[in-house]
Every structure is written in structure tokens, then in C-alpha cells.
Amino acid sequence: MEKPSFLQRLFESVSRRPGGVPRAAIRDARRAVSLCHALLSERGEVSGAHLARDALAAYQALEGESLSVFFDLLAEEFSPDPQMVGKLAEAYRVNPSQANLVGLQQAVEAPRGKLFQRLNMAPGGTGQLVEMRRRVMREVKLKPQWAGIEADLARLLASWFNRGFLTLQRIDWHTSALVLEKLIQYEAVHQIKGWDDLRRRLAADRRCYAFFHPRLPDEPVIFIEVALTRGMSAHVQPLIDPSSPVCDPADANCAIFYSITNCQEGLRGVSFGNLLIKQVAEDLGREFPRLKTFATLSPIPGFRAWLAKAPKLVQSETQQAELEALVTDLDKPDWREDDAMRERMQPLLLRLCAHYLLHAKHREEPLDSVARFHLGNGARLERLNWLGDTSENGMKHSAGMMVNYVYRLEELERNHEAFAHDHRVIASRRLETLARESLLSQPPAPDQKPLEHA
């Protein structure tokens, strides 16, 4: 079953180039692959979890070059047989019957798919396969020969992490330290600075929910942080201030989703955020009937990068100059302290940002990744918040602004379809007006259609 030609080539390459793959790396990878072959064989069928454990352990011991060799071998020796695929594809072409389809489906399935299924029997197997995909993805651009591995893992994990198998769990101070420290570690939007910071985020007027997979009980797949507030929050710093007073959640009329974090890079593309927000909104609505508004408080991560290129988008030189001056001013460290400067910049920036959110596109989709996500979920762009996030990060990417996306459960499907079919961005009047008043939209354009940008 092993293909000596490949190994031969490998060894030749070792001897050929100085600085090639060290023999020890090849030996370790080879050993792991042998165990994988055994696991796929007759013996694997009867040995159960023991062999799976050994194979997984051998794989886990790999790193750097030995890991690369392992993936190379996984691509070489556990791919479908091209002959067989060719033959059955031809058969299907001649007669596209169900039987021929089933045959072809089997032929294109890589043996490594079955290998992954068997590795999953080992304790910790599921987590290791998620991690394996992360490793492959990280380098697949440079190693196109690994694309098949990535695709097989992606398909398998999408199937296993089906929403139907995930459970929604509330996370609070009753949760284990094991899970809580993962939140501290994973939080991607507004850094959690330790246990006291975390504690405030789990107090009575906050909520945190996560999806868990039954096989990974201590590993959140994705989590969301919510503040229960009076009025729609415009500023994030008060929400995450560890010393802010705790309010009675029964008084709240808004649920503000201020952070959502995908924890597992190895599950990229297997999307849950959409479902998580909706289920949390439904659950909170039942628990607190006085909640009227469900909205995010979100960054606008692509705004400043786009703004830097905006001068090129206008034709009028005056406008160009004005935009360039704005970009320059934004780079000054203390513009926020300078009252005159701040007051001059505020209306300009708000309008430009509104324009960016409504009209800056990549192909037909919003250029801003966060906008793309929430609008794709059927939310509406509601309000821009000046100095909503004054952290270093917030200033650097979003020029300190934040935006609220509102989730109205009854209009999500309609908004989503308008967005998906007609690429329409659903936004409040206020935001549409702001965008219309921006430097980019205003004077010149005889052409009505907004510009498209890469």
C-alpha cells in the first residue's frame, strides 16, 4: 500500500540538497503514517480505540518538518485512486444512473476521510482533528498539494459540528474555571484583562452564551457577550469597565451584543454566529419581556484602511485635498484633545463612515467584514456612534467610531433576502442621510451609482 517511489524521491531529495528534510523528521512522519495505515486496515477494525490512540499520539508528536512530511504523505498515500475515479466518472457520463452516481461518490472519497473517522475514536480525537485543519489551513496556500486534506477535514467538521449537535450554554460565575480561562484567552474583540475584568462581564446585568460540542465539553466553539442596558449603548468602554455599577437586569430595555468570538480557527467557514445571535435574542426575549431592542455595538474594522485610499476615489482636487488633510489629522496622536480639531473632524468622519458602510463594496458585498456578517444575517445598520471605542485598537481601525446593527427577529428573513439577492444594504434614514452628505457622495457625481472599490 505504501508507495516507495515517493519515499525514494524523498530520500533522494535529502541526499541531493544539503539542508533538505532531516532523516529524523522523515522517520517520525513515516512512523505516524504507518500507524495510520494500520488503523485503516483490517487490524484497525478490530483493535478499536487502542490503535487510534497510538496513531494520534504519533501524529501529535510531530512538528515543523516532520509534520510537513506527514501531510505530504497524507496527500500522497491517502488520496482517491485516480484510475478508479476516471473509470467511474466515465461510467457516470455514459449513464448518469443512481447506481453510477453512488459508485462515483465512493470513488472520489479519499481514504483519509475514513482515517479521520477512526482517529476520532481516540480520546481527544475531535479536538485534534480541528487542530489539524488549523495547521493545514495555515500553510495550504504555500502547499497546494494539501488542498485535498483541507477539503476533507472541512467537509467532515462541517458535518460533525452541525448546529443540531451543538448546545447553547449560559456562561457565568457558576461555570468552571477551565472554561472561563478560555474566554480570557480567546476574546478577540475587547480584550479581557484578567479574572476581575471577566467577573464584571458575567455579572447580573451581563450575559454570556456559548455553543459547545458534546465531545468538547470544555472548549467553547463560539461565544457572545451581551449587556442588558437602558437605551441602546453608544460607547463600549462603560460596558467593559470592571468598576462600573451593576444594574438590575429587570429594568433593561436593550440587549447589546458587544462581542462575538469564534474560538476555533480550525472551524473557520463552519458558521454559527448567525444562529447564536438569533437564539440568544429569542431566549433573552422570553426571560426579559421588557427588552425591546436587540442590537450590536460593533467596530468598523476596515474604515481607516479604506479612508487612506479614499482620496483616490474622488476627482475634484479640493475634495482630494480635504480627504488627505483628514487622513493626516487622524494620524496626529492628540487630535481628540484638541477641541477645535475634533469638532471639525466629527461631521466629516461620521459622513464618510456612513458612506463607507453603505457603499464601499468588494464585488457586490460590503467591504467591511463586520458589516458583511451582520447585514448577511438580516440585521439593519442603525446608528453611528462618535468616539464609541476610544481604545488604541478602536482608534487605529475604526477612527474611534462604532456602529449599532439592530436585530429585529421579524424582519431578518426579509432583510437577508434583499441583501442576498439584490445586494441592498438595509440602513436607518439617519445613516442614509449621513452617507448622502459625505464628501464622496455629494457634489460631483453626475453618475448616481456609488463607486465600487476593491
Residues annotated as catalytic are: 298, 374
Those residues with Cβ within 8 angstroms of residue 272's Cβ, 6 or more apart along the chain or in another chain = 161, 163, 166, 211, 221, 222, 262
Using CA atoms, how far apart are residues 452 and 228, in angstroms rounded to an integer?
38
Using CA atoms, how far apart are residues 364 and 368, in angstroms rounded to an integer?
12
Query: Is 226 within 8 Å of 280 (Cβ atoms)?
Result: yes
3 state DSSP class of 246: coil
Looking at beta carbons only, is 334 or 410 nearer to a second copy? 410
Query: Is 335 within 8 Å of 295 (Cβ atoms)?
Result: no
The number of angstroms, rounded, from the C-alpha of 129 to the middle of its chain's C-alpha atoms is 18
Using CA atoms, how far apart are residues 398 and 387, in angstroms rounded to an integer?
9
Looking at beta carbons only, is 67 or 379 nearer to a second copy? 379
Looking at beta carbons only, is 303 or 373 nearer to a second copy? 373
**At how many degrees (to 10) do helices 23-40 and 65-77 cross?**
40
C-alpha cell at 365: 458585498
Query: Is 293 within 8 Å of 232 (Cβ atoms)?
Result: yes
Looking at beta carbons only, is 243 or 315 nearer to a second copy? 243
Min dist. Cβ of residue 70 to a second copy (A): 16
Looking at beta carbons only, is 202 or 314 nearer to a second copy? 202
Min dist. Cβ of residue 160 to a second copy (A): 7
Nearest of 375, 432, 444 to residue 406 by alpha carbon: 375
Using CA atoms, how far apart are residues 296 and 204, in angstroms rounded to an integer?
19
C-alpha cell at 96: 448518469
Is residue 220 within a helix (H) or strand (E), and if so which, with residue range? strand 220-229
Looking at beta carbons only, is 102 or 445 nearer to a second copy? 102
Count Cβ atoms below 10 Å from residue 66 Cβ, excluding itself.
Answer: 21
